[in-house]
Structure 1
């Protein structure tokens, strides 16, 4: 039973992660800029951190985990001088609506047949338990919108941050820092150039952390993740799945399967329009 549910947790991630991610697409940019959040990173940090209020950079460094602190400190608290968290929350919902309509063709007419699936996703999000999950809890505390497309994005975002918080906890428990997690993934299957640039680490910081992983036997001298490193990371991924299974256990396997069938096309369209290469190693939808 646990193995089956864990598989469902990983599968459902492929559905709600791309839906959440439209907030970072080009179609979302105008609404964020209109709120005073010009530039990709201002919009990114405001959209993700606004549910926590006018928080300073230190908690965001901790919660976002894999970003270089210097990148976060450039964005915060400056963004709150440009847009209050309340204004940022309104802007991100409008941005998500604009992006889902442009990316996945979701209009008042086309969302109708998906209403049942949206309700199931909302139900799953409501079943998520948020102890120790700061971003998940902050998003879950926001009112669930009435507008169907906004409901879809809100539920996907709650589930995304709930899973992300759990992943951070699993990596911390495994003794892996945010930068070390990037290096291990770059040594397995993702691009160092993309990961390092997207998270703002210098060559010196990257090399120092890599040297530490070599000493621990998790990385070889050529920058490839060793068998021990791959096993450690795989175990953290498995823990992430197990700790993300609660919403799907509550929803049930049949309902989860209906969700995948109903939202796979929407998720695939959102994934195809992603502004960045796959930073998470996200498997194909479904």
Structure 2
């Protein structure tokens, strides 16, 4: 792992693609459709929020944070008329295991097991206080199969960091749309990110104006020095919130985990849409 990057961030870069794979894989899509979650965002919103139960839109809007409320409201709670949370979770587990089995078919199962064991040990040490998505996922039964174990452990770790990231964004005074505007001002194309989160042009421009007024952006839409400092601070806060679980790990053990995850992560990342590969932050 790079010495200049916090271990919590280095490891997140590796397990995030493992989690994300199911939402973009043909196996995940097929499992969602077989469960009755056809079209649009139904599979994503149902499967990711299912650990919370058959909730209405407001908790999902709050937890997912960067999605436009209108997009969430079009899917939730309507998704529960097609599939119960239990059915959505079963589809999620089936799709993620099948996708990982395909993508990692040439990876030594012993290496996959090493990564799964290590992530499970880390997930078992997490303090999920104040982290609702992480806690709900951590409470799910342990999958029986190896690829399901890897995905589940990566998901608990990912949602734990994501919950902490949302807290950092709120502390920084950013709402969901503003967070994405800042991200695009830094290094992501607006045309790639805005449609994926469902914000209208009017909402996006209003968020941009608010950021200009608060000194994050220039009138031309570039990040100010103050904006860069504040962004770096919230990224550091995210790392700090995710760091406790790794604090007493020997460096040698962290390096072994990173080495086990690296080829797995690279293969999973290769399955993701190109426009997602440049989103290392502000992504919950």
TM-score by length of 2: 0.93
The answer to whether the 8 A contact 2:269-2:277 is kept is: no
Q: Cα offset for 1:280?
A: 6.2
The 5 A counterparts of 1:66-81 are 66-81=66-81
User: Partner residue of 1:275?
Assistant: 273
Residues 111/199 of structure 1: CA separation in 2 closer, same or farther (3 Å cut): same
Q: Deviations over 1:242-279 (max 9, x none)?
A: 11012222543322211111121110111111136127
| Inter-partner Cα distance in structure 2 for 1:157 and 1:250 | 22
| Inter-partner Cα distance in structure 2 for 1:252 and 1:23 | 31
Structure 2 residues not aligned, in runs of 5+: none
The answer to whether the 8 A contact 1:26-1:275 is kept is: no
Q: Secondary structure at the match of 1:95?
A: helix
Q: Cα offset for 1:7?
A: 1.1
User: Partner residue of 1:97?
Assistant: 97
The answer to whether the 8 A contact 1:184-1:230 is kept is: no
Q: Does 1:65 align with 2:69?
A: no
The 5 A counterparts of 1:84-163 are 84-105=84-105, 110-163=108-161
Q: Deviations over 1:208-249 (max 9, x none)?
A: 111111111111111111111111111000000011012222
Q: Cα offset for 1:102?
A: 2.1
Residues 240/165 of structure 1: CA separation in 2 closer, same or farther (3 Å cut): same
The answer to whether the 8 A contact 1:114-1:262 is kept is: yes
The 5 A counterparts of 1:241-260 are 241-260=239-258
TM-score by length of 1: 0.93
The 5 A counterparts of 1:221-236 are 221-236=219-234
Q: Deviations over 1:146-181 (max 9, x none)?
A: 211111000000000000000000010111111111
| Inter-partner Cα distance in structure 2 for 1:114 and 1:95 | 17
User: Partner residue of 2:8?
Assistant: 9
The answer to whether the 8 A contact 1:100-1:106 is kept is: no
The answer to whether the 8 A contact 2:93-2:148 is kept is: yes
Q: Deviations over 1:92-139 (max 9, x none)?
A: 0001011112223278xx323432221111000111111111101110
Q: Deviations over 1:53-74 (max 9, x none)?
A: 0011000000000010000000
| Inter-partner Cα distance in structure 1 for 2:12 and 2:106 | 20
Q: Secondary structure at the match of 1:277?
A: helix
| Inter-partner Cα distance in structure 2 for 1:138 and 1:250 | 25
User: Partner residue of 1:23?
Assistant: 22
| Inter-partner Cα distance in structure 1 for 2:4 and 2:192 | 32
The answer to whether the 8 A contact 2:112-2:150 is kept is: no
Q: Secondary structure at the match of 2:233?
A: helix
Q: Does 1:51 align with 2:58?
A: no
Q: Does 1:191 align with 2:189?
A: yes
Residues 63/196 of structure 1: CA separation in 2 closer, same or farther (3 Å cut): same
Residues 82/259 of structure 1: CA separation in 2 closer, same or farther (3 Å cut): same
| Inter-partner Cα distance in structure 2 for 1:209 and 1:44 | 25
User: Partner residue of 1:203?
Assistant: 201
What do you get for the CA RMSD once the two structures are aligned? 1.9
